[in-house]
Amino acid sequence: MRNCPSCGSDNWIKNGSIHNGKQKYQCKDCGRQFVDNPKNAPISSYTKELIDKLLLEKIPLAGIARVTGVSERWLQYYVTSLRAVHRITMLILPNHYFYRTTDYW
Ligand SMILES: [Zn+2]
């Protein structure tokens, strides 16, 4: 069973085909379109770390999506889940995340 290359979901629908006849799919969770291709991989932790840093720089989501190659819809989904994580992080370790990550640059 294939999974969405963006979010790993297996909740997808068939969505036509591309020029060479390969089946195209669309993820119902994040909206990402993808073809049946073994090179597709979930978004790496490196990319997610990069996104975290770009978000702290207050770069618009559209810009982050262009730089990192993820879809804006996935990014929106990711940011929403990130905010939930931050609420927990800040309760346990106040200031830790925000002060430490601003030193990266
Ligand atoms: Zn997805």
How far apart are the CA of 17 and the centre of ligand 1, in A? 18
pLDDT band, residue 105 (cuts 50/70/90):
very low
101 vs 42 pLDDT, higher one: 42
How far apart are the CA of 40 and the centre of ligand 1, in A? 12
Cβ atoms 31, 74 nearer than 8 A = yes
Give whole-number Cα distances, 82 to 16, 66, 85, 87, in Å: 32, 19, 5, 9
**76-96 residue pLDDT tens:** 888 878 766 665 454 444 444
How far apart are the CA of 97 and the centre of ligand 1, in A? 27
Q: Find the length of the chain.
A: 105
pLDDT band, residue 28 (cuts 50/70/90):
very high
Determine the Cα–Cα distance for residues 53 and 23; give it in Å rounded to an integer.
35
Confidence at residue 61, expressed as pLDDT on a 0 to 100 scale: 85
Full-prediction pTM beyond 0.85? no
Cβ atoms 78, 64 nearer than 8 A = no
Cβ atoms 46, 59 nearer than 8 A = no
Determine the Cα–Cα distance for residues 95 and 57; give it in Å rounded to an integer.
16
69 vs 86 pLDDT, higher one: 69
**29-46 residue pLDDT tens:** 999 988 765 444 578 888
Edge-first strand order for the sheet with 33-35 is: 12-17, 23-27, 33-35
How far apart are the CA of 77 and the centre of ligand 1, in A? 9
